[in-house]
Each structure stands twice: as structure tokens, then as C-alpha cells.
Amino acid sequence: MLWARELTHAFGAIRALDGISFTLERGRTLVIFGPNGAGKTTLLRVLAGLVRPMRGSAGVEGGRRAIGWIGHQSQLYGHLTIRENLQFWGSLYDVLARDLERRQGELLSRLGLEARAGQQVRTLSRGETQRAAIARALVHDPAVLLLDEPFTGLDRLAAEELGALLGELAARGRATVLVTHDVKEGTDLASDVAFMRAGRFVEFGPRGTRDAAALTTAYREALRGA
Amino acid sequence: MRELMRHTWLIARKDLQLEFRSRTALASAFVFTALVLVIFEYGRDPTAVPTIDLAPSILWVTFSFAAMLGLNRAFQAELENQALDGLLLAPISRTSLFWGKLTANLVFVALVQVVGVLLFILFFNVPVWRVWLPFLLVCALATIGFIAVGTLFSAMVVRTRFAELMLPVLLLPFLLPPLIAAVAITVKLFAGRPLSESAGWLRLLAGYDLAFVSLTTLLFPATVTE
């Protein structure tokens, strides 16, 4: 479904990725925890094909069409309405008009944006923009989700809603890679976890029965030992 | 090819929709065009240099600088919320992205040229309508090539700190051949000479367009890949 082999990348003297390898099967959710500058975003960008690694390779079954991406920014056009944005992005992914209409309706309703659908994105609050960005990422029903700090800007209720939505998508066979620096945020979603530091996975494997507290302890120990 | 054209149209339509909503660059270009023509109208001495000799240069200098205002904006909207990442991730070819931007820029410049010509007729009383068809051909031929180069440079400089300064500096040397040819042909047209007398200049413009549209299409993917 999703694989990375010996990924290595540097920005000048700074090594952002240092020989990262893993595979992720359908229905699995890998949550990557790491401090700022650990290389998490670079890893996602390489997986998405936005950055060509200096060494190694990565790929997604189904190619670019299969990827849904949520980054630090919404990737929405401020002067277009939410609906116009979804129309545009859905059309780029060749979603058929009738499917696009249905999909938009489902997403807008699920994300609580129905009343805002005709509003220009630049007039939305931070949380609403983030929810619109999630709708944009899911409009073509991607098989793989690459999520970079997706909870940023969401209030608690919206964050719980997003968690539930991601859980549903995993149950429907979507593979997800989520990166965050906050262990509490991603724990419940994770089937697999990785701790990342200085471009390397210092730990990688199934989460098992560990809860947020146990993972926080493991995370601290792993980073201290790295 | 149908896919390519469809995606090209989607990108161009989105860009034009954004421009007509925000009207930032369009309004600046119209004001700039009017301002330049007014200044030249009141700043020249018709007894010293006949209007018919001076008018083509004034017209083409105005068109060129007004076009740069539009070119500066071409990729700016994509940086606003990192929408460019979304476009690069979407399953569309880089060529359709480039052609979409190019098409939107050409429409933008065409609109500025229409308004510019109307003001030009008003201020300079040059009988453009008598030669409107060959003049339209010259406008099209002189614009396509340098807008293609401008679109490529716009993508190259958009991430730099002084993008608005860099673009004219890079573009001006490439602007000279079509500008000189356009002025030379326009002088003859306004003097009532047949278009066939400018066959050499027309061939230069056609060759320039062919060479630079091909070259920029080939080079564009390299400018947007990290």
C-alpha cells in the first residue's frame, strides 16, 4: 500500500531523513511522533512525491491519485467558496460530476460546514478553514492519507470529530500516516507508532495496548536514548 | 491530449475566477495603462514628433509593463495557502499546470490590451480600426512568446524574497526581440503599409513563439520540483 526504502534527504548540512524504511498496509494508521525539526514533514513530503529524496525511494499503491494530503496550510483558495474549492480539487482528480456532488454533500455535512459552503474561504475562522481543508483532502476518496498536524486549529469537539472520521476511514481500509509532536493527540488513532529524531526512526512498531501515558514515557525514553 | 486540455482549462478557469473576484492585478494593470497613456498624451509635443511615429512605441511599452503586473500575480495565489503543493500532488501533468497558467495570463493581457487600445484611440486618435485584423494578429504573435517566458520566470521567482523585482529584471532581455518586432510592424500598419511588407518581422515573432512556448513547456517541470 505505502512503502519507503532507505530514504535519505538533506537540506544543506542538515540531514532531514537518514535511511528511513517502512511499509504500511491497508487499514493501518501509522502515527509518527517527533520534536520540531525531526524530519516528519520532510518524510511526508517525500512520501507524497513533493520532494525527491537524495537516496532511497518511496511509493504509494495507486500513485498520486490515491493520496489525500493535509499539510500545515489549507491549500484552499481564499477568494473561492468552500464549494468552489471542492469542485475545483475534485475535478482535478477526475471525480465524476454526480459523484462529486454527492461526495461534497457528505463531507460538508460530516464536517459541519453545510451552512458555510457558499462562503469564501478567506472569511472562515481558523477551525472552519481546517475542516474545509480536511474536506478538500478527502473529496476524491483517497486510499492513503498523509496528515501533517491535522488537529492544529481545531477545537476539542472538532478534533474528536476528525479522530472519529479518521477511525472510520481506517476501518474502511484507508492507510494513514499522521505526524504530530503531541503524543496525546494521535495515540488513539494509531495502530502503529514511530518515534522520530534527527531524520531517523528511533522506534517503530505496533502500538499494542499502550495508552497516551505509556507512549509519552516510551517517547521520552526513546528520545533520551537516541 | 483531452485530459491535458481539460486540466489546462480547469487551472485557467480557476485563475481567472480568482482574478475577477479579487481584481487586484487587473485593476492595477488598467490604472497603470490609463496613467501611462495620459502622461504620454500630455507630455509630448505633436509638432516635434508626429503622433503616428511615436504611438506604436508608447502602445507596446504600455502593454509590456502592464503585462508584468499580471505575470507577478500568476503564482502568488498558489503560495497563499500552499495550494501549489496541492496542484503538484494532483494527478495532472506539469504541462497542463503551465498551460493553464499561460492561458490565464494570456486572457489577462488580452483584456488589458483591449482597454489599452480603446484608451489609445481616444487619446492619440490613431485609426487602429482600419488595420484591426492585422493589428490583432501582431498583438497575438507578440504576446504569446513573452508571456510564456514570463509565466516560467514567475514560477521560478515566486519563492524568492524579491519576486516582484526579479521578474522584470529576468524578463526584460527576453522581451526585447518581440517588442522590437511588434513596434516595427505596428509603425508600418499605422502608416497604412500592407502587412506583407513586415513578413520578416512576422516570421521572427512566429519563430520566437514556437521556440519559447516549446522551451518553457519543457523547462517548467524542473522549476516546480523540489
A-chain residues within 8 Å CB-CB of B86?
Answer: 69, 75, 89, 136
| Tally of CA atoms within 13 A in the half-sphere of B66 that contains its CB | 31
Domain check: are A151 and A57 in the same one? yes
The pLDDT, as a whole number, for residue A168 is 87
pLDDT, tens digit (0-9, with 9 covering 90-100), for B196-207: 899 999 999 999
- The answer to whether B141 touches B155, Cβ cutoff 8 Å, is no
A77:B77 CB<8 A: yes
Per the structure, the complete domain to which residue A54 belongs is given by 2-61+143-225
With 80 as the cut, is the pLDDT of residue A154 above it?
Answer: no
**Across B123-128, average pLDDT:** 82
If one counts the domains in chain B, the total is: 1
B-chain residues within 8 Å CB-CB of A76?
Answer: 81, 83
Nearest by CB to residue A76, choosing from B81, B89, B91, is B81
**A7 dihedral zone (left: phi>0; alpha: psi -120 to 50; beta):** beta
With 90 as the cut, is the pLDDT of residue B16 above it?
Answer: yes
**B59 dihedral zone (left: phi>0; alpha: psi -120 to 50; beta):** alpha
pLDDT, tens digit (0-9, with 9 covering 90-100), for B145-176: 889 999 999 998 887 877 778 888 888 899 99
The pLDDT, as a whole number, for residue B13 is 96
pLDDT band at A225 (very low <50, low <70, confident <90, very high): low
Mean pLDDT across chain B, nearest whole number?
A: 89
Fill in the DSSP letter of residue B127: -
B-chain residues within 8 Å CB-CB of A50?
Answer: 85, 88-89, 226
pLDDT band at A226 (very low <50, low <70, confident <90, very high): low
The pLDDT, as a whole number, for residue A146 is 94
Least confident of A135-144, A183-192, B211-220: A183-192
What ipTM is given for this predicted complex? Answer: 0.86
Give domain status of residue A104, yes or no: yes
If one counts the domains in chain A, the total is: 2
Nearest by CB to residue A77, choosing from B3, B18, B89, is B18
Give domain status of residue A50, yes or no: yes
B86:A51 CB<8 A: no
B85:A84 CB<8 A: no
pLDDT, tens digit (0-9, with 9 covering 90-100), for A17-56: 998 999 999 889 999 988 888 899 999 999 998 899 999 9
Domain check: are A160 and A213 in the same one? yes
Q: Would you state the cell numbers that stand for residue B100, as one nine-digit string?
A: 493553464
Nearest to A134 by CA among A82, A174, A200: A82
With 70 as the cut, is the pLDDT of residue B226 above it?
Answer: no
Residue of B nearest to A90 (CA): B90
Give domain status of residue A175, yes or no: yes
- Is A75 part of the contact surface with chain B (CB cutoff 8 Å)? yes
